[in-house]
Every structure is written in structure tokens, then in C-alpha cells.
């Protein structure tokens, strides 16, 4: 219980995922890397048991302010790799590969992104899973120059992050898809809702783009969208009562909201303190447990997230196995925060490699944009999209979103909803 309290308190300190461009300086000092526990460093691709080793870099933050997010991303991905390795490895082109994860710490500083990325590239790593887009966008030329493929499991919505002339691909749709899915969840779960407004932390043009996405989704559901009443607040906001007051003043029945889960929960709490039953729909795949714990059980109702729930009869076996391993390694209380984003990204990459029949980077990238759909850890197929957004086909895997609903009686999982982008 102590560990999960630390996790939840840390989440309260997380600043909004904002679209602030990364510093492209290549003179930053080298940052440390580590091989994930359970993996065995190897100078050759052979493991000695008839399988080969596939090294995948994790470019994230294990120190600094963003570590409260990325440490769980690292640990969930480690659990996924452990499950794959325990099953004998992953089949690519008729050959079994054990997964070795190599971590490079950016220290929660975008200026360290290049040094941390080069640290992985210098170790001969061809595939890098990376943290949120605004921290690593300055690395795109490194990936192209060195023939490296980068995969993001959540991009809040930085324009230009993926597309032609980049080697960056999205294993999930991030903030763009989240806004669309959140509207459709509200429409299904709360049929009496008539009006919706968008809210988020300051993120420049990303706010305008996501506001537009939310409006289009609302129109498709026959809902009135208050486009000119969006509520944008500072990244380092502390006066959540004032934000709640602004939301109430819009007169909307529901708010589709970005920002961090800590900010969302604080706003939800203040809405209830001010006597409002406004529905709060998170655009993120957050566990309902976190929202409930941060907002408090008395406030945590009329709220939804796009998170998933272990034990649901419709879940895929991979999801359940990875969750069980995560709980085994980190304890059942911490496991309640499991969001599965990075494991789903790893699984997606491996699915594409299997379809390509090789670990050759260029062939895998070409295969990625040629596929129509792949399997996911959730037991559902996912289509590819992003052609209009990125001016090139199939940059994004449209993973199914969860429908987690918080009520006065507790947390309910309503199943999955398909996600859209173009």
C-alpha cells in the first residue's frame, strides 16, 4: 500500500503534457542506460537456448519530474517482455527471439533527449520506444540518419511528430483519438447529455486541434458542442476551484478533458465541491482506480476514462497475462494503476515484425504502413489510420479504447469502443 501511495502522490506533481519543442543540442552529456531486470545483456544475438535476442530501447524518464509517469511505463513494458520470454520468445520469420529491453534515462529534460537517444543508438539498437512526443520530437533526424525506427505509445498531439520523412510511428492514437473516443463514450453511457465542452492545459495549437476533433465527434453523435467556450488553463495550475467555476459557467452537461490525471481528478473534486454533477470524460487510458483515489470516492462519479479493467471477460489473454506478471513483480496495489499503453505498443511492434518476417528496420517500416489491421493485447483487432492527419498512410494503430465508468457505487467497465482518426 505504501508503494501505491507514493505513486499517487507523485502523479499529483506531474505537469501537463504540453507541446513544448525539444532542444536539439547534441552536446548534452551522455545519459545512463540500464538493461531491464530479467533481461540478459548479450554481445551476440544468440541466447544459447536456440533463440536470438531482439534488443529494444526504452527512451524515457526514470529520474526527474516525469519519472512518476515513465517508471510505470518502464515496469509495465518489462512485465510484457517477461511474459513473452517465458512463453519461449517471439516468432519472427520462423525464428524465436527473446526480448531484451535497454533503458536510457532522459532525466525529465527534453534537452537530454538526443544524448539519451544516441546512447541507445551507439549500443546498436534499431528500435526505440519513446516517451511523450514533446520531449523527443527533436530526435527525429537521429532516427533517420541512423536507420532507427521509433514507436510512441502515447502522443498528446504535437503536429509534425510523425509523417513523411520521419521514422516515428504511433502505436496508439494519443490525444487526437482520445478526444473522439471520450465523446462517444459519453454518448453511450449518458444518453441524456445534450451539450459538451472541451478543456485542457495550455498546449498551443494542440488545444485548437483537439477542440476541433471533439467538435466533429460531438456532431457525429448529434450533440451540441460549445466550440467557443473551451476552458484552457495553465500547465502549472493550482487553483482548480477557479477552473471548475469556469466549466460550470459554460452550462455544458459534460466536459471532455485532457491534461494529467492528477489535474483531471482535482477539477472533478472541485466540481463536486461546488455542487455540480457535470460529467467529466478523460481522454486518457487511465485506470479508474487512480481517478477515484485522487478525487476521493465521494467526488468520483459521473466520470469516465478510456482505461481498461483486468478480469473483464472480454479481455484478451495477453492483456491478462501481462497484468498478472505486473502484479507479481510490483504488488497488487500498484497493479491497480496498470494502464497497458506501453505493453500494447511493444505488442504492436512485434506483430508488425511478424508480418514483415524480419527484423530489418526498413522492411518493418514499409510493412507497418502497408497493413490494414493487427491483433492487440486486448483480444481485439486494431485498424491503421492517420492518412489525412500525417499526409501519409497508416502511421497510427487505432487501438480499442476502454469504457471505464466511475459511479457512486464504484467503478464499472463497460467494454471496448473502436477508435477513429481520419
Q: What domains sit in the chain, N to C, each tagged with a CATH number?
A: 2-175+316-401 (3.40.50.2300), 176-310+403-417 (3.40.50.2300)
Residue 133 sits at the vertex; the CA angle it makes with 415 and 239, to the nearest 5 degrees, is 75
Task: Answer for the pair 221, 193: CB distance below 8 angstroms, yes or no.
Answer: no
Q: Tell me, what's the pLDDT at 393?
A: 82
Tell me the three-class secondary structure of 93-158, residue by residue.
CCEEEEEEEEEEECCCCHHHHHHHHHHHHCCCCCEEEECCHHHHHHHHHHHHHHCCEEEECCCCCC
Residue segments in the chain with a per-residue pLDDT below the cut of 70: 1-49, 156-159, 422
Burial class (CB within 10 angstroms; exposed 0-12, middle 13-18, buried 19+) of 10:
middle
pLDDT digits (tens, 9 = 90+) for 338-375: 989 999 999 999 999 999 999 999 999 999 999 999 99
State pLDDT tens for residues 407-418: 999 999 999 998
Distance in angstroms (rounded) separating the CA atoms of residues 321 and 340 = 11
Q: What is the pLDDT of residue 203?
A: 79
| pLDDT at residue 124 in the model | 96
pLDDT for 19 = 32
Interatomic CA distance for residues 366 and 368, integer angstroms:
5
Cα 398–Cα 191–Cα 284 angle in degrees, nearest 5: 35
Question: pLDDT, tens digit, for every residue of 121-131?
Answer: 999 999 999 99
305-322: pLDDT as tens digits: 999 999 998 899 999 999
Amino acid at each position: 500500500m505504501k508503494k501505491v501511495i507514493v505513486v499517487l502522490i507523485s502523479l499529483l506533481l506531474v505537469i501537463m503534457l504540453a507541446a513544448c519543442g525539444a532542444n536539439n543540442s547534441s552536446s548534452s552529456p551522455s545519459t545512463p542506460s540500464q538493461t531491464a531486470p530479467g533481461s540478459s545483456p548479450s554481445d551476440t544475438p544468440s541466447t544459447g537456448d536456440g533463440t536470438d535476442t531482439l534488443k529494444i530501447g526504452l527512451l524515457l524518464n526514470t529520474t526527474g519530474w516525469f519519472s512518476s509517469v515513465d517508471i510505470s511505463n518502464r515496469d509495465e513494458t518489462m512485465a510484457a517482455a517477461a511474459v513473452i520470454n517465458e512463453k519461449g520468445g517471439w516468432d519472427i520469420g520462423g525464428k524465436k527471439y527473446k526480448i531484451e529491453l535497454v533503458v536510457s534515462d532522459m532525466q525529465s529534460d527534453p534537452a537530454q533527449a538526443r544524448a539519451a537517444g544516441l546512447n541507445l543508438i551507439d549500443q546498436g539498437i534499431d528500435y526505440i520506444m519513446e516517451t511523450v512526443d514533446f520531449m523527443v520530437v527533436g530526435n527525429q533526424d537521429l532516427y533517420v540518419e541512423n536507420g532507427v525506427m521509433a514507436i510512441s505509445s502515447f502522443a498528446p498531439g504535437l503536429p509534425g511528430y510523425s509523417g513523411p520523412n520521419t521514422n516515428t510511428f504511433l502505436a496508439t492514437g494519443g490525444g487526437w483519438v482520445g478526444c473522439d473516443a471520450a465523446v462517444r463514450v459519453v454518448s453511450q453511457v449518458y444518453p441524456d447529455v445534450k451539450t459538451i465542452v472541451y478543456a485542457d492545459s495550455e498546449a498551443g495549437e494542440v488545444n485548437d486541434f483537439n477542440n476541433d476533433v471533439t467538435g466533429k465527434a460531438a456532431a457525429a453523435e448529434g450533440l451540441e458542442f460549445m466550440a467557443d467556450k473551451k476552458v484552457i488553463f495553465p500547465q502549472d495550475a493550482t487553483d482548480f476551484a477557479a477552473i471548475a467555476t469556469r466549466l460550470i459557467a459554460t452550462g455544458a452537461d459534460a466536459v471532455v478533458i485532457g491534461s494529467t490525471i492528477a489535474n483531471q481528478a482535482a477539477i472533478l473534486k472541485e466540481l463536486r465541491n461546488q455542487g455540480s454533477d457535470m460529467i467529466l470524460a478523460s481522454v486518457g487510458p487511465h485506470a479508474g482506480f487512480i481517478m477515484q483515489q485522487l478525487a476521493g470516492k465521494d467526488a468520483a462519479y459521473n466520470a469516465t476514462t478510456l482505461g481498461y479493467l483486468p478480469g473483464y471477460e472480454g479481455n484478451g489473454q495477453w492483456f491478462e497475462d501481462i497484468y498478472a506478471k505486473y502484479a507479481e513483480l510490483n504488488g497488487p496495489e500498484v497493479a491497480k494503476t496498470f494502464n497497458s499503453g506501453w505493453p500494447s505498443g511493444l505488442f504492436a511492434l512485434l506483430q508488425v515484425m511478424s508480418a514483415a518476417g524480419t527484423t530489418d528496420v526498413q522492411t518493418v517500416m514499409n510493412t507497418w504502413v502497408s497493413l490494414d489491421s493487427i491483433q492487440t493485447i486486448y483480444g481485439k483487432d486494431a485498424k491503421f489510420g492517420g492518412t489525412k492527419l500525417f499526409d501519409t498512410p497508416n502511421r497510427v494503430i487505432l487501438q480499442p479504447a476502454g469504457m471505464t465508468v466511475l459511479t457512486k457505487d464504484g467503478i464499472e467497465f463497460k467494454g471496448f469502443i473502436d477508435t477513429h482518426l481520419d
